[in-house]
Amino acid sequence: MSELLHKKAPNFVLQNTEGKNVELVNYKGERNVVLLFFPLAFTSTCTKELCQTRDNLKMYNSLDAEVFGISVDTFFTLREFKSAQNINFQLLSDFNKEASKAYDVLYEDFFGMKGVSKRSVFIVDKEGVVVHSEILESADVLPNFKRLEEVLISLN
């Protein structure tokens, strides 16, 4: 369980696949936000996770939730990944690892790579508070999407 649960979500400014800045605080008072941290674009479990989210985006929209996929990949890589998989929500580059550090979701060592995001989910409500977190230690496990939906339903 994350120490951020029931606390104000750390703000971040990250680049989307168009190189434009996206700031979390801009969604406060507007929408619930789902943060999907994932290890690396173009890997099998990450592709499965983001495609499953893509295929269920109507559900997220109906529950007034903005979804962001976040990884330490460059926004150039994420742009290609988004295009290749027809991802219909924003992917954000945490190349400098600031958001992953703030949410305490960095692997020390991921197959020899330092500072890769752990697969994790945070729901930030419209007040800017973290109301759900799931941090997975195993990169080949998908988040509990059913629980994610239940939490979003409870916010509406």
Q: Is residue 86 part of a domain?
A: yes
Cα–Cα dist 156/146, whole Å: 16
- Annotated active-site residue 51? The verdict is no
**pLDDT tens digits along 41-56:** 999 999 999 999 999 9
Active-site choice (36, 41, 46, 116):
46
Sign of CA dihedral 128, 17, 117, 97: negative
Provide the CATH number for the domain around residue 109.
3.40.30.10
Please give the average per-residue pLDDT across 104-116, as a whole number. 90
Q: Which domain holds residue 104?
A: 13-154
Q: Is residue 8 part of a domain?
A: no
The dihedral over CA atoms of 93, 108, 66, 96, expressed in degrees to the nearest 10, equals -30
The total number of structural domains that make up the chain: 1
pTM for this model (two decimals): 0.95
